[in-house]
Amino acid sequence: MCRFTLYLGPPVRLSSLLTEPQHSLIHQSYHSRERAEPLNGDGFGVGWFAPRLTWEPAVYHDVSPAWNNRNLKSIAKVVTSPCILAHVRAATPGSEVNLANCHPFQYGAYLLMHNGHIGGFRKVRRRLLEELTEEAFDVVRGSTDTEHLFALFVDEIVRHGCPIHMPPKRGGESVTDGPITDPPLELANRLHAAVRRVMRLVEEHGEDAPSMLNVAVSDGVHAAVCRFSDSPDGKPESLYFRQGEVYEPAGRMFEESRRGDEEGEAYLVSSERLTDDPGWGAVPPNHMVVLSRNTEARVLAMTEDGLVAPE
Amino acid sequence: MCRFTLYLGPPVRLSSLLTEPQHSLIHQSYHSRERAEPLNGDGFGVGWFAPRLTWEPAVYHDVSPAWNNRNLKSIAKVVTSPCILAHVRAATPGSEVNLANCHPFQYGAYLLMHNGHIGGFRKVRRRLLEELTEEAFDVVRGSTDTEHLFALFVDEIVRHGCPIHMPPKRGGESVTDGPITDPPLELANRLHAAVRRVMRLVEEHGEDAPSMLNVAVSDGVHAAVCRFSDSPDGKPESLYFRQGEVYEPAGRMFEESRRGDEEGEAYLVSSERLTDDPGWGAVPPNHMVVLSRNTEARVLAMTEDGLVAPE
Amino acid sequence: MCRFTLYLGPPVRLSSLLTEPQHSLIHQSYHSRERAEPLNGDGFGVGWFAPRLTWEPAVYHDVSPAWNNRNLKSIAKVVTSPCILAHVRAATPGSEVNLANCHPFQYGAYLLMHNGHIGGFRKVRRRLLEELTEEAFDVVRGSTDTEHLFALFVDEIVRHGCPIHMPPKRGGESVTDGPITDPPLELANRLHAAVRRVMRLVEEHGEDAPSMLNVAVSDGVHAAVCRFSDSPDGKPESLYFRQGEVYEPAGRMFEESRRGDEEGEAYLVSSERLTDDPGWGAVPPNHMVVLSRNTEARVLAMTEDGLVAPE
Amino acid sequence: MCRFTLYLGPPVRLSSLLTEPQHSLIHQSYHSRERAEPLNGDGFGVGWFAPRLTWEPAVYHDVSPAWNNRNLKSIAKVVTSPCILAHVRAATPGSEVNLANCHPFQYGAYLLMHNGHIGGFRKVRRRLLEELTEEAFDVVRGSTDTEHLFALFVDEIVRHGCPIHMPPKRGGESVTDGPITDPPLELANRLHAAVRRVMRLVEEHGEDAPSMLNVAVSDGVHAAVCRFSDSPDGKPESLYFRQGEVYEPAGRMFEESRRGDEEGEAYLVSSERLTDDPGWGAVPPNHMVVLSRNTEARVLAMTEDGLVAPE
């Protein structure tokens, strides 16, 4: 079922998420606390942005577990980034473990990762593909439900535009429905629309199977992370949010310090809390966290009419 | 563009194809002679049958090159089989190298491998998927043109039956068009039909790009291997055929010896000749080799009306 | 700390150990029951013999976990062997995970695997290497304590001969101390001597750190498996023994059936019991199981004077 | 036999060496021009320094070929460094391909990579290990001649000190023979001493087999690269040197541009010329290039009395 962590804020080292905290993502790869099965050893992936060099993120995937990967630990010490998406995978039984099936998935400037599953995916897959534009259809390389959800997200971008970083991976026109006044919300709307489309497809074809959709997307400047489940009885997968000044993780508690001349809040959205720091709060079920380097964070409710501020 | 070798006959060790001959398949992985580019280092795969134990073949895939794979060399010395399909991959530029994209592909008792490419595949892919039955659609896990051609082959089996080994991978009914009197030809017809369907799709959607389709299929008892190209000027990829008594490769020349109480001819169909043995002959362009453990080999012409004996 | 299973008897499929039993070795790779840490995901290895083809065993190693390895599951269904050594690794913290460090280790006809650790190994390593003959020194390719113990075992064979399969990996003379009347005991004596030498080295250089040495060796016909720890208070790692007629594992209980015309008892020695079958008994601490295809099993005490029958 | 490239100068992207030039290192991994065998597909490694974050370099190794590694291409676009050591491996026949055997090797702040071989290494290995201090002995994890040469280099540092970055990997005292007035020369002397010790060992034990020792070392600020062979008749492996202003590789020719406020020369030492740029010159046989961020480059002759300025 996977675990993930997203960071957005002043640049920090990848190790601040992956190795240094007491309950780092690598720790979660073998000792996850909030899943029935503690193990997430079916591969991992890290995506990060280097905006001073390029709009395009880098992605590092491997099918071996995170806990014994020397490359990952080595790279994490020397790479800093203002936007990091890291994921450790627990493959749905029957789903192949290979490089095509690692998160985060990438399209142009966009990264997406997911914890959960699409209900009745095998029945849904074909119908989902049929709805896609040519450009979004072309995105799919593997066989995971996540990648197909990602294709829907890309489809939404192709149809309705995207906040910044216009060059899609393979050129082609992107249609914008009008001037973008609220870029992070725009990004969040695309994710929300993709989730709603998946839920409609599941309802029509998925034979009532429940879905769990904790999904994170980012373009390096804006990010949206949702905590969604369609089962009124079942608990959605865990998701936590933390914001504050720049962090230097140290043992059990984050130290807060302001770094150099990098301004702005630092945000973390994570399947499990990386530290015991009391600053972590649970994201409410069926809500989406909407983030940007230079605006305030928002937590909006995911309704059938779109994203709305909670009561 | 890949190289492959198929063996059908009395059981031999995998090493008879993979390591022992002077121009073994592993040798071809770095010193291919009949391709512009000698290198086939983007992964490999070996499928083989153990009919005394099960109808289901085993498949061993790896994304690393064949020439330095210790597991492959170790296993090859101790595994014998009457039917072996081995492949070394040169990925089409832009095609991902991962486990989902290794040949041979497997569905139930069927293995398929390919050397070549489908012309204009990116334009063809979606139309091809639309034609498939649910069962065949479900086969696709990766992004190669070969796997999509395989899905067409499976589609043909689902629609028109298969010679033996009825259990398809996921149960379900298989329709037979009538009693099967000539099983190897039946198998060959399915491959031929798949090739014709691909060519039709390419003609309709592939924007005139040429295709090279050297394809081998087998169910462990019957095999069919075609050498096909749709370009009248261009040369199809190389393919050779050899038959005789049981072999023990030794250096440059195959030694011929009869093994134990295993009867029957031994057949080899291979992108390049494994030895200097004069017994190798080129398969004519646009012809298919039709093989079975207990019938004579046939080489039939691939025409628009089906497989026919040559003049 | 690892888990392993050894089989000796009429040929069975690898899947009888690796996948089919309810608590198969692959199940133990993520749900080990008798270790503090249930995870053994730092690679695996399977060695097996094909005596009708060659005296040399095959070995298949991978650094990725056993539970998601498709090759392993595929191969296990079609390979049968009268002698199988299978191992899943939990790397000692600080020990590298790479192909050089996978068990079982191989030298000529000999395979060895281990669960445990050599106390104070980093202090012992150099002194151990200094004692070795040139031939045994040459064996070491990686950095594990197990491989160095294996080098001691090979050193014992080089110095004192081996029961059968004389060709050592790199030629050279093997000294036999006299006619071998009891080959399985001869093999067991070599392992016992290697264990005693390790313990002496640890005592002299290892700074009193405790050692756990559950070790299995085989040459395809004979096998010896010891359960050893030098700490009088601490429990040694678990080890179980089972013997009986030929098995076809089925769910929770082994079915007992006699296969074809293959005679002889079937033996299993395993870190954990593969099934609930009451036939499993614990190997007493500091004892060695001595096995052969054509003699009765013995369980001998490991004393400073050698292997002796228990009171 | 391998190919490598070292860069020292104002920060550039890894892609400037690995992918962008026409004859980039990745191009050399399958189309090496100055070796009999064009293929270097037995793994690769990149080490680089991030001095603003830490003195410790990062290292990324893989056993699969460089040409199809998506992670490498992705990371190379977003990582910049003032000091980069990159290597593609062609394993000496018989040498294992695994993660323990990838270059560059790392010890504390030091990286080393090598193209060539130590003559008669199997006879030399044991004698070499016997000479090492405990700290240097502990460095060896695999089985390559390169790693053992690296252990000698570390031994020299342990015995005679090192220019900067005193913390060796495992603590312990470093003995400095006096104030270091010429740090890059100090580093070069250590490498030279290691090469001389290897040659002495080969002479005493290596049975007259020739050695090829093109070796590069760096601590992130200083670097030394030698081109050495002990055979008067044979040609040493190729090695080229280029210096100039900061580069942005573009097609066949380097463009020269000065980047931001980063001062200093940019140096490249490479098995083969990355571009057709006339600025490349061959390093004379048995000479060593001595580099530093803030001193002039020197090319010194490797004599029995040490490194001396050429006539």
pLDDT confidence of residue B155: 97
Mean pLDDT for B241-261 is 56
Give yes or no for C74 touching A (CB within 8 A). no
Model confidence at D278, pLDDT cuts 50, 70, 90, reads confident
Say how far apart CA D30 and CA B93 lie, in whole Å.
14
SS3 sequence of chain A: CCEEEEEEEEEEECHHHHCCCCCCHHHHHHHCCCCCCCCCCCCEEEEECCCCCCCCCEEEEECCCCCCCHHHHHHHHHCEEEEEEEEECCCCCCCCCCHHHCCCEEECCEEEEEEEECCCHHHHHHHHHHCCCHHHHCCCCCCCHHHHHHHHHHHHHHHHCCCCCCCCCCCCCCCCCCCCCCHHHHHHHHHHHHHHHHHHHHHHHCCCCCCEEEEEEECCCEEEEEEEECCCCCCCCCCEEEEECCEEEECCEEEECCCCCCCCCEEEEECCCCCCCCCCEECCCCEEEEEECCCCCEEEEEECCEEECCC
Give yes or no for D64 touching C (CB within 8 A). no
Say how far apart CA D21 and CA B160 lie, in whole Å.
53
Q: CA–CA distance from A30 to each of A93, A240, D176 (Å)?
A: 17, 19, 44
- Over residues B200-248, the pLDDT tens digits come to 999 999 887 889 999 999 999 999 999 999 887 778 999 999 998 656 6
Cβ-Cβ contacts under 8 Å, C126 against chain D: 129, 134, 137
Say how far apart CA D25 and CA D32 lie, in whole Å.
9
pLDDT at D304 over 50: yes
Say how far apart CA C146 and CA C42 lie, in whole Å.
15
List A residues 227-286 in contact with D (Cβ-Cβ < 8 A): none
Mean pLDDT for B267-276 is 94
Q: What angle do CA A174, A177, A183 make, to 5 degrees?
A: 85
Residue of chain C whose Cα is closest to the Cα of B81? C78
- Over residues D3-32, the pLDDT tens digits come to 999 999 999 999 989 999 989 999 998 899
Subunit contact C142:D141, Cβ cutoff 8 A: yes
Residue of chain A whose Cα is closest to the Cα of D15? A53
pLDDT at A209 over 90: no
Q: Which positions of C are catalytic? A: 2
Subunits close to D (at least 3 CB pairs below 8 A):
A, B, C
Give yes or no for A54 touching D (CB within 8 A). yes
pLDDT confidence of residue B169: 43
CB neighbour class for D124 (10 Å; exposed up to 12, middle 13-18, buried from 19): buried
**The two structure tokens encoding residue C175:** 């000294």
Angle between the N-to-C axes of helices D183-205 and D121-131, in degrees from 0 to 180, rounded to the nearest 10: 120
One pLDDT digit (tens) per residue for chain C, 311 residues? 799 999 999 999 999 889 999 899 999 988 999 988 888 899 999 999 999 889 999 999 999 889 889 999 999 999 999 999 999 998 877 788 899 999 999 999 999 999 999 999 999 999 999 999 999 999 999 999 999 999 999 999 999 988 765 444 433 334 445 567 899 999 999 999 999 999 999 999 988 788 999 999 999 999 999 999 988 777 899 999 999 865 665 433 333 334 454 677 899 999 999 988 889 999 999 999 999 988 899 999 999 999 999 87
Q: What angle do CA C138, C141, C146 make, to 5 degrees?
A: 100
Subunit contact A143:B141, Cβ cutoff 8 A: yes
Residue C209 neighbours by CB under 8 Å, 6+ apart = C119, C120, C202
Residue D53 neighbours by CB under 8 Å, 6+ apart = A13, A77, A78, A80
The dihedrals phi and psi of C195, each to the nearest 5 degrees, come to -65, -45
Query: Which of B237, B218, B243 lies closest to B286 in space, CA to CA?
Result: B237
Query: Which of A180, A280, A179 lies closest to A221 in space, CA to CA?
Result: A180
Say how far apart CA D98 and CA D143 lie, in whole Å.
10
* C247 and C16 Cβ atoms separated by less than 8 Å: yes
pLDDT at A38 over 90: no
- Report the residue of D64, D88, D89, D102 to disrupt the B interface, i.e. the one with the largest count of B CBs within 10 Å: D64
More confident residue, B63 or D174: B63
* D1 and D35 Cβ atoms separated by less than 8 Å: yes
Give yes or no for D39 touching B (CB within 8 A). yes
Cβ-Cβ contacts under 8 Å, A73 against chain C: none
Sign (positive or negative) of CA dihedral C59, C63, C67, C70: negative
